[in-house]
């Protein structure tokens, strides 16, 4: 008799923490362009904020960026040609 234990399949979504998205959205409001009073989030800064580390299943930052875009935080090319998200403190 062989017993097969079913383990839930791990997906990239398992590496996304919705509470971190909520916290970001509660602290910042999206901006469409740079202003003196705004923060600029690069790929590196977003990866650090969300602790989004590339894993064998893919890059969880892609899922964070999708969810942020739905909430108005869209990546724009800055003057240096690097995509960034512009946001201001609420």
Geometric angle at alpha carbon 80, from 79 and 82, rounded to 5°: 105
Taking the C-alpha atoms of residue 30 and residue 28, their distance in angstroms, rounded to an integer, is 7
From first to last of the 90 residues of the chain, give the pLDDT tens digit: 556 667 789 999 999 999 999 999 999 999 988 889 999 999 999 999 999 999 999 999 999 999 999 999 999 987 778 899 999 999
């Amino acid at each position: 008799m062989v017993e097969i234990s079913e383990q839930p399949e791990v997906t990239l979504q398992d590496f996304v923490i919705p509470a971190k998205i909520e916290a970001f959205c509660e602290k910042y409001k999206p901006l469409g362009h740079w202003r003196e009073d705004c923060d600029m989030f690069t790929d590196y800064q977003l990866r650090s904020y969300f602790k989004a580390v590339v894993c064998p299943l893919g890059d969880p930052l892609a899922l964070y960026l999708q969810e942020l875009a739905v909430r108005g935080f869209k990546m724009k090319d800055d003057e240096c040609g690097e995509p960034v998200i512009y946001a201001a403190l609420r």
